[in-house]
Structure 1
Amino acid sequence: MSKPAAASRSSYPHFLAITTRWMDNDVYGHVNNVVYYSYFDTVVNEYLIRAGVLDFERGETIGLVVETHCNYFAPLVFPERVEAGLRVTRLGTSSVRYEVGLFKEGSDEAAAHGHFVHVYVDRVTRRPVSLPDALREALEPIRVVTGTAAD
């Protein structure tokens, strides 16, 4: 299995600047791999909240992460700013595949690229539900058609 190439900035229609923190670095002097997933979560949820389609306290529908993956290409370190690019590459009946590129501020090539899949479920029963129309509409502007899941 070969590693995909790093994605470019132009592959992502939405960006969020994230300030690294001292605690993000590990003993090897770079951002620890588990923190990258926190950045993924941050850019996705920021987008959903600003679009008005995520009410994490009272919403009837919630997204549960059922799959994650990340490829690392270059280290990120404190005190760099990270620019997280976001796109949607699949809108299913009850699931969404979000892809995130993490860029050193001003860099055109991703330091990391990954994805996670949300399955949307009823908050109470935890059974899958169809994506609400408002969510589908909010995701359409960042939807990108790719040749492969890692493009």
Structure 2
Amino acid sequence: MYGHVNNVTYYAYFDTAVNAYLAAQGALDIGGGEVIGLVVETGCAFFAPVAFPEALQVGVRVAKLGRSSVRYELAVFQEDSGEAAAQGHFVHVYVDRVSRRPVKLPPVLRAALEVLSVD
């Protein structure tokens, strides 16, 4: 309606980029895994509009890797652009699916996240 992708959509881009990466690494079973990530903090800054159906790329890095939590930093780029249209972050706390209590990151998950870590 406004000629650009609505700001809430960027959060879906962030979530999709992280979960797609972790699933591809065999580190996350969204439907049946014992451990799931809950978003406890998020933020985004917008620099340039993007519009549907533009091709976009999302860069992901891990800024902080804790015992049970991860801070992701992300950037959305228009195809072939070296400047971010938006930059954001979110924090996942990984919890037991049933009890919803924080758990230590499983080794396969920690290994996949360490690859993206800038610590």
2:107, 2:2 → 1: CA distance?
Answer: 45
Question: Which consecutive residues of structure 1, in runs of 5 or more, have no partner in the other structure?
Answer: 1-26, 146-151
Q: CA deviation at 1:79?
A: 2.0
RMSD: 0.7
Structure 2 gaps, min length 5? none
Post-superposition Cα deviations, 1:21-68, rounded to whole Å, max 9, x if no partner, equal: xxxxxx210000010111001100100000001111211111000000
Q: 2:49 aligns with which of 75, 78, 85?
A: 75
Partner deviation per Cα, 1:54-91 (whole Å, 9 max, x = no partner): 11121111100000000000001112111100110100
Percent identity between matched residues is 65
After TM superposition, the score normalised by the length of structure 1 is 0.77
Kindly report structure 1 stretches of 4+ aligned residues shifted beyond 3 Å: none
2:39 to 65, 69, 78: 65
**Normalized against structure 2, the TM-score is what?**
0.97
Which of 25, 29, 44 is the equivalent residue of 1:51? Answer: 25
- Partner amino acid for 1:116? F
Q: Write 1 or 2 for the structure with the bigger share of strand.
A: 2
The whole-number CA distance in structure 2 between the counterparts of 1:86 and 1:54 is 16
**How many residues are paired up?**
119
